[in-house]
Amino acid sequence: GFIQGDIPLTENPFRELAEKINLSEEEIINRIKNMQEIGIIRRFGAVLRHQKAGYNTNAMVAWLVDEKDADRVGKLMAEHPRISHCYLREVPEEFGYNLFTMIHATSVQQLHDTVEYISNQVDLKSYKILNSLKELKKVSMKYI
């Protein structure tokens, strides 16, 4: 669990981690590399706290996508820089919308412009914008 949470925002973060758990900086780096090589860690990167960065408007957008186009459309959407999540889900037939994206923006206008741009890019006109009203919980996943 030594890299599960935030790492120090310093010039030598792995050295600081190493000192805390009585290992060398080289050992820490080698352990991380090993975990990546064997597939325990798939990705190692920074997490942007979008509200603190000015992205305080967000919405889940539910899209109606034909199953045969879902992979292609999902991949295109996932590449958009304002989309943080993109999921294809099984849904009740009466709801219909089966592809979900979380879009972050700095204003309501930017959010709607983004949805319109994506709609045109992937040629989908059937969608619902589900605006976020309040964040009730947000935590990083902890693995034990």
- Domain co-membership, 21 together with 77: no
Tell me, yes or no, whether 141 lies in a domain.
no
Of all residues in the chain, what percent carry a pLDDT higher than 90? 62
User: Residue 87 is part of which domain span?
Assistant: 57-131
Nearest to 25 by CA among 43, 2, 5, 41: 2
Residue 69 in any domain: the answer is yes
| Residue 143 DSSP code | -
Asked whether residue 106 falls in the same domain as residue 73, the answer is yes
**Regarding predicted confidence, which is higher, 143 or 64?**
64
> How many independent structural domains does the chain possess?
2
∠ CA 121-83-96, nearest 5°, is: 70
Q: Which residue's structure tokens are 């996508």?
A: 65
121 and 76 together in one domain: yes
Q: Is the pLDDT of residue 93 over 90?
A: no
Q: Report the alpha-carbon distance of residue 128 to residue 98 in Å, rounded.
A: 11
Which domain CATH number covers 93?
3.30.70.3460
Check which CATH number belongs to the domain holding 13 and give it.
1.10.10
Largest Cα–Cα distance of the chain, in whole Å? 58
pLDDT digits (tens, 9 = 90+) for 13-60: 999 989 989 999 999 999 999 999 999 888 777 776 777 777 789 999
Q: 40 with 63, same domain?
A: no
3-state secondary structure of 27: helix
42/63 same-domain check: no
